[in-house]
Amino acid sequence: MSGRAVPFFCPYCGEESLVPDIPEGATGEGHGHWACRSCQRSFRLNLTALASATTVTSTSRPTSTNRPQAITAPEENG
């Protein structure tokens, strides 16, 4: 597994001609920098959080005992 996240397209123009771009004078901080050859823009990818996959395994269906009851308005007399 690579330590570098690879983008599939440029977020500005949508082209796929991306190359890693290490800024001048960067010492170890060039990780995640990319440049687009089409629009000549550069951008950086950052990891913001790790998402965990959760699955719902509940197979129970509502029954008449736990189904919400319909609320009816009282009849008006008169």
Distance CA 64, CA 7 (A): 51
Give 2 or 66, the one with higher predicted confidence.
66
pLDDT confidence band for 63 (50 / 70 / 90):
low
pLDDT tens for each residue of 31-50: 788 999 999 999 988 877 77
Q: Is the pLDDT of residue 10 over 60?
A: yes
At residue 73, the pLDDT reads 56
Are 64 and 36 in contact by the 8 Å Cβ rule? The answer is: no
Q: Which of 21-30, 42-51, 52-61 has the highest mean pLDDT?
A: 42-51
Q: Buried b / exposed e across 26-55, counting CB within 10 Å, b at 16+? A: eeeeeeeebbbeeeeeeeeeeeeeeeeeee
Could you tell me the pTM of the whole model? 0.51
